[in-house]
Structure 1
Amino acid sequence: MRSRQLIARYAENDHGFIDGMAERARELSDDPLHSFLIFLKLYAEAMEELVDGHPGAWWARSPSRTCPGTAPPAR
């Protein structure tokens, strides 16, 4: 596997993981601020579980993606 493919795979997995937590936070609250705070709590809990040996890199969300609790970008 080429290095770019490996990086792309981890980035895709990371974005999917973050998107899943953001969706869950939006399901738990309609209020954008509360949803974001729920997301932060979910993220902190996930990071505590992954401290010892997560095999991939966590990627910063790209500017084209939205923050949890906000509307998705118009297409």
Structure 2
Amino acid sequence: MQHDGGNPGCRSNVAFYPDDDLVVACLTNINITDLPSKQSFYIANGLLGLHKTDDWINVTALKRTQEMYGMVAKL
């Protein structure tokens, strides 16, 4: 389970993996990004030795962040 959120200038994500006794918290000092939630998956995948299902940082988070900046630019 996970929860993410943010305020102007920051964004965070906390992911809990109770069966594996693991908590991953990611904080950023920008709010127009999807990096914290994807970074949590990336870190958990590495620590738990899980099969890589997605390139969480270089593809997924980067693409979503670019989309978010594109939406802001249109405002």
TM-score (norm 2): 0.34
Q: Return the structure number with greater helix share.
A: 1
Q: Which has the higher strand share?
A: 2
TM-score (structure 1 length as normaliser): 0.34
- Pick 1 or 2: higher relative contact order, CA cutoff 8 A, min separation 6: 1
